Each structure stands twice: as structure tokens, then as C-alpha cells.
């Protein structure tokens, strides 16, 4: 293949919509292998340490959420400079990402916008895979230098919503089911879907048909307040679906959202405050993990409450995941290691803004003996990139919402496609359920 086909000939960008109907950026990179397109996700509960998502702020255009400036930054700033470099998209992914970081020059990608940079980074990775004639997960896996047999992830389905993702009075943002007892990804999706449908009927019987509307990530948001109410609903749904013993639970309280002045207000969405100290909240978590089959806790404390994290991690028997705490940021990950604050990284590509940096964050976490949990955002798109990324890094788990709503399901469908392909080609692989249950 002639080398010129590996160079970028054009980069275009446009404003499109995410799953909340808010603008996001779409980027198409063209090489000799044709066009490769990416759509960028966006979060609702955005941590203070995330890379900067550039929005126009013009109140008369999508209430200030339009991304025309980010689109222009791709087409007028990034594109001409990147094309001029004549990078080989099949070999130079890290160089392309580094070049854009230097071109931006700010600490948090605020000049060009992390959404602009990430769109180009994702599209270039896709272009590299197309050029090499391999699936995206295989291209990313080689970039990451991973050689072990494929590990297919346990899907963590966010089936009950609270916090900023719903209109009920539940403070905790997500309650997830994880089919670790499944035999494959395809079987896991089946189990998750069956429990989700059973949960729908359990909620309808208890709270009426009006209680089965879904939140941003496809989870139900019934009129519940106490975490134990949510976990009891999950327990009943698992039993009704006939999958007892195969399903574990996970919680993402997203506690930075209800933290102020050293206290955690579990009543922040109601008229009745319920302000707990970090140690009282820790006791609540321990009582829940003692009573229910919970294997993972994400952001149980606020993003700067290091003391609470470190204290809880001293004798934490489950996966303790830093999201807002770490923001997929190497410096924050290093600080968390020094303070022994958690044992797992939540990886969100738009928190850091390039695919190379996302992979470096994962490698850093793995070097500490931590786990890595790949995540969608609440404002998602129909781009299935993170499914391939999860497989490429062998992280063993992915959360992408409920088995409901197209932008969520597309990731789970992609995982099943990958599993089918590995089976057809006889590639050694295993499902991560056993590994996560250890």
C-alpha cells in the first residue's frame, strides 16, 4: 500500500445531537482508506477536574449549548495543522494526540475544547484501524501493547436512577446490575435484559405504571428515597427473573453532587435535609455491602474529600472506583495512589480528551494493581467506540446504561458483535465474570 494513503487528506466537523437532544460535535477524518467518523459524548454530573468541553454560551442558540466554536476549531485550527504534519494514522496515534495537546497549549484543553480534540482523536483511531484493515478493538489493543488473550467485559447495567439523573428524591445516582455469573457477553446481555424487564413489572406492581419512565441512561426512576428500597427492588427483580446467584450489584452515589461544608446531604432533592458526616455515610455503605451482593462502589465520597476515601479504602473488601475523584487524569491517579484512596479507575474518554491519554491513564491504574472500569456519559451518542476500547484494554467491565435506549444498547450490541467475531476466528478469549467475582 502506498504510504500517501496513510496520511490525512481532510478533516471536517459538524454539530449534531447527543441523547439528551443537546448539541455535540461530530468529526470525520478522511485518508486513503476512506472517511472515518466519530461522535463525542457529554456528561451531566461533570467533575471539577475534567477537561474542558467548549460550548458557545449564546443563550439564543440551544440555550447556550451549541458547539459551533468547537466545530470551527476543528476545521480552521486543528485540520490544517494536522494535515500539514503528514502523520501516518496507522502508526502515529500517540503523535497525533500529542500534537493536538501542544496545539491547544492549555492545561485542560480549554482553548480548542476537549470535545473538538477528542472528536479528532477518536476519528483518527478509527481511520488507523481502517487503514490497517483490522477492527477498532484490535488496532487499539496493539496501540496499548496488550498481548494477553482477549477479556470480554461484564456489562454493568444502570437500571435504577437517582441523583442528578432523575426526578425522584433518591440521592444516590445509579444502582447497577452485573451478570457476573453469565457464560459470555451475549448471555450477560440476556440476563441483564431479563432482570430489567422483571424490574419493570416489580416497579409497576409496587408503584404503578407511571413509575416506569426512564432516566437519561435508561434506568427506571420510581418514587423511592432510601438506598435499601432500590436494592430491595433489584433483589426482587433478580428473583423474579430466575437469576439468583448470577447477578451482583453496584452503586454510584455520585456523592460530589450532595456534598457541602464537610457533610453529605442525602435529602438534597427533598425538603428534608439529611446531613451525614463522612464516617456516618461510610457506615451506611458498610451496612449495605453487608446486606446485599454489592461488588463495586463508585464515588462514595466527594472529589476532594481525600480523608474519607483513604479511611474507607483501608478495609474495603470491594472495588472502590474513583470517577470525579480521578477524572481519568494521570496526576489525580498518582495522588490517589499516594493517599491509598481507591483501588479502581473509572475511565471516561471525554474527561481527559484524547484516546492516547485515556490509555495512559488505564496503564497507570493497572501498574498500581487497580482495576479499570470503562464508562459512557449520560449525554451519549450512537457511537460505539467505548465498547472496542473496553475490549482492547481488557478492563473486564463496562457501564453503558440500561438494556434500553439506542445510544446505550449500541455498545452492548457491539460487544456481542466482537464476541461473535472472536468465536468465528477462533481467537482465545474469556468472559470476565469469574475474574470480577474474585
Name the binding residues for Mg(2+): 252, 298, 323
Q: Apex CA 292: angle with CA 291 and CA 293, to 5°?
A: 135
State the cell numbers at 394. Answer: 481488557
Question: How would DSSP label each residue in 45-59?
Answer: S--TTSPPPP----T
Strand 174-178, strand 248-252: pairing: antiparallel
Nearest one of 26, 45, 113, 115 to 350, comparing CA atoms? 115
Question: How would DSSP label each residue in 257-309?
Answer: GGEETTEEETTTTSSS--EE-HHHHHHHHHHHHHHS-EEEEE--S-TT-HHHH
> 90 and 131 in contact (C-beta within 8 Å)?
yes
Alpha-carbon gap, residue 342 to 427, rounded angstroms: 34
Q: How far is CA 107 from CA 92, 113, 318, 365, in A?
A: 23, 11, 34, 21
Catalytic residues: 217, 348
Which residues does residue 356 pair with via DSSP β-bridges, in sequence order?
A: none
Which residues does residue 346 pair with via DSSP β-bridges, in sequence order?
A: 373
How far is C-alpha 385 from the geometric centre of its chain's CA atoms?
11
Give the H/E segment covering residue 435.
Answer: helix 433-437
Phi, psi at residue 319, to the nearest 5°? -70, 125
Alpha-carbon gap, residue 432 to 434, rounded angstroms: 6
Residues at the annotated binding site for substrate? 165, 174, 298, 323, 375-378, 399
Nearest one of 176, 147, 146, 178 to 160, comparing CA atoms? 176
Amino acid at each position: 500500500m502506498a504510504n500517501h494513503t496513510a496520511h490525512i487528506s481532510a478533516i471536517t466537523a459538524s454539530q449534531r445531537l447527543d441523547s439528551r437532544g443537546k448539541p455535540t460535535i461530530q468529526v470525520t477524518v478522511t485518508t486513503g482508506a476512506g472517511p472515518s467518523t466519530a461522535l463525542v459524548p457529554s456528561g451531566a454530573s461533570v467533575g471539577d477536574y475534567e477537561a474542558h468541553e467548549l460550548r458557545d454560551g449564546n443563550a439564543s442558540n440551544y440555550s447556550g449549548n451549541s458547539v459551533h466554536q468547537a466545530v470551527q476549531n476543528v476545521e480552521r485550527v486543528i485540520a490544517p495543522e494536522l494535515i500539514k504534519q503528514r502523520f501516518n494514522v496507522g502508526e502515529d496515534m500517540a503523535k497525533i494526540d500529542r500534537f493536538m495537546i501542544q496545539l491547544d497549549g492549555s492545561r485542560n484543553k480549554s482553548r480548542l475544547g476537549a470535545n473538538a480534540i477528542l472528536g479528532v482523536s477518536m476519528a483518527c483511531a478509527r481511520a488507523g484501524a481502517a487503514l490497517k484493515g483490522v477492527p477498532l478493538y484490535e488496532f487499539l489493543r496493539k496501540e496499548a501493547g496488550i498481548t494477553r488473550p482477549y477479556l470480554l467485559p461484564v456489562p454493568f447495567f444502570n437500571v435504577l436512577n437517582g441523583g442528578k439523573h432523575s426526578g425522584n428524591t433518591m440521592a444516590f445516582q445509579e444502582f447497577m446490575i452485573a451478570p457476573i455469573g453469565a457464560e459470555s457477553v451475549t448471555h450477560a446481555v440476556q440476563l441483564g435484559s431479563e432482570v430489567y424487564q422483571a424490574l419493570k413489572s416489580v416497579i409497576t406492581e409496587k408503584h404503578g405504571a407511571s413509575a416506569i419512565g426512564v432516566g437519561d441512561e435508561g434506568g427506571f426512576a420510581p418514587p423511592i428515597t432510601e438506598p435499601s428500597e432500590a436494592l430491595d427492588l433489584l433483589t426482587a427483580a433478580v428473583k423474579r427473573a430466575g437469576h439468583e446467584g448470577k447477578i451482583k450489584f453496584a452503586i454510584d452515589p455520585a456523592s460530589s453532587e450532595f456534598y457541602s461544608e464537610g457533610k453529605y446531604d442525602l435529602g438534597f432533592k427533598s425538603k428534608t435535609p439529611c446531613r451525614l458526616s463522612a464516617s456516618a455515610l461510610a457506615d451506611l455503605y458498610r451496612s449495605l455491602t453487608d446486606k446485599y451482593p454489592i461488588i463495586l462502589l463508585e464515588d462514595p465520597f466527594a472529589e476532594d474529600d481525600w480523608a474519607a476515601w483513604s479511611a474507607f479504602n483501608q478495609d474495603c473488601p470491594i472495588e472502590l472506583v474513583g470517577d470525579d475523584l480521578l477524572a481519568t487524569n494521570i496526576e489525580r491517579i498518582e495522588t490517589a495512589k499516594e493517599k491509598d484512596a481507591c483501588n479502581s479507575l473509572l475511565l471516561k474518554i471525554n474527561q481527559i480528551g484524547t484516546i492516547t491519554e485515556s490509555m495512559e491513564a488505564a496503564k497507570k491504574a493497572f501498574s498500581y494493581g487497580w482495576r479499570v472500569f470503562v464508562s459512557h456519559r449520560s449525554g451519549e451518542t450512537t457511537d460505539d467506540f467505548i465498547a472496542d476500547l473496553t475490549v482492547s484494554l481488557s478492563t473486564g467491565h463496562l457501564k453503558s446504561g440500561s438494556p434500553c435506549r439506542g445510544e446505550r444498547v449500541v455498545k452492548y450490541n457491539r460487544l456481542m458483535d466482537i464476541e461473535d467475531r472472536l468465536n468465528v476466528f477462533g481467537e482465545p478469549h474469556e468472559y470476565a465474570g469469574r475474574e470480577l467475582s474474585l
